[in-house]
Amino acid sequence: MADNDKTVRDAGPFGPSVPVPTAGPALGGAYAAPAAATGPAPPVAHAAPAAAAGPATAGAYAAPVPAAGPALGGAYAAPASPSAGPAPAGAYAAPGAGAYTSAAYPQNPTAPAVGGPSAGAYVSAPAAPGAVPAPKPPPPSTFQELRELAKDFIKRNEKLMWWGHTAYALALGAFVATFAQKGFERARLLALSLTFAWVLVVLFFRFFGTGTQQDFMTAWPGARRRFFIMSYLMKNLFQSMLFFLLPFYWKSSSYVAGTYPVFVGLAACAVLSTLDVVFDGVLLRFKLVASFFFALTLFGCANLVIPALMPNTPIIMTLMVAGGLALSTLVLFHVSLAALRRPIALGAFAAFVTIGLLGLYSARSIVPPVPVHLVEAGVGTSLRADGKLDAELVVIRATSLSESSELVSVAEVSVVGEREQFRHVWRKGGTVLQHQSAAAAPAQQAGLVRVASKVPVQDLPAERLGIYTVDVITANEQIVGRTQFEIRE
pTM flag (> 0.85): no
> Could you tell me which residues come within 8 angstroms of residue 252 by beta carbon, excluding any fewer than 6 positions away?
259, 368, 369, 370, 371, 372, 373, 480
Residue among 173, 314, 313 at smallest CA distance from 245: 173
Q: Is the peptide bond before 371 cis (omega within 30 degrees of 0)?
A: yes
Q: Is residue 235 a contact partner of residue 279, using CB atoms and an 8 Å limit?
A: yes
134, burial (CB in 10 Å: exposed 0-12, middle 13-18, buried 19+): exposed
HSE-CB for 131 with a 13 A CA cutoff: 19
The predicted-structure confidence for 187-241, as pLDDT tens digits, reads as follows 666 667 767 776 777 677 666 666 565 555 555 666 677 777 777 777 778 888 8
* Residue 283 neighbours by CB distance under 10 Å: 21
Q: What is the pLDDT along the chain (489 residues), one digit of tens a residue?
A: 444 444 334 444 444 444 444 444 433 333 433 434 444 444 433 433 433 334 434 333 444 444 444 444 333 434 444 444 444 444 444 444 334 444 444 444 444 444 444 444 444 455 566 666 777 777 878 878 887 887 787 777 777 777 776 777 777 667 666 666 666 666 666 667 767 776 777 677 666 666 565 555 555 666 677 777 777 777 778 888 888 888 889 989 999 899 999 999 999 998 888 887 788 778 878 888 888 998 999 999 899 888 888 888 999 999 999 999 999 999 988 888 888 899 999 999 999 999 999 999 999 999 999 889 999 999 998 898 888 898 888 999 888 888 888 999 999 999 887 778 899 999 998 899 999 988 888 888 888 999 999 999 988 988 889 999 999 999 999 999 999 999 998
Residue among 74, 24, 70 at smallest CA distance from 50: 24
Q: How much is the pLDDT for 186?
A: 67
How many whole angstroms separate alpha carbon 250 and alpha carbon 252? 6
Q: Is residue 232 a contact partner of residue 225, using CB atoms and an 8 Å limit?
A: no
Q: How much is the pLDDT for 201?
A: 73
Q: How much is the pLDDT for 81?
A: 43
Domains of the chain, CATH where assigned: 1-128 (no CATH), 146-366 (no CATH), 373-488 (2.60.40.10)
314, burial (CB in 10 Å: exposed 0-12, middle 13-18, buried 19+): middle
- What single-letter amino acid sits at 86? P
Q: How much is the pLDDT for 357?
A: 96
Q: How much is the pLDDT for 219?
A: 58
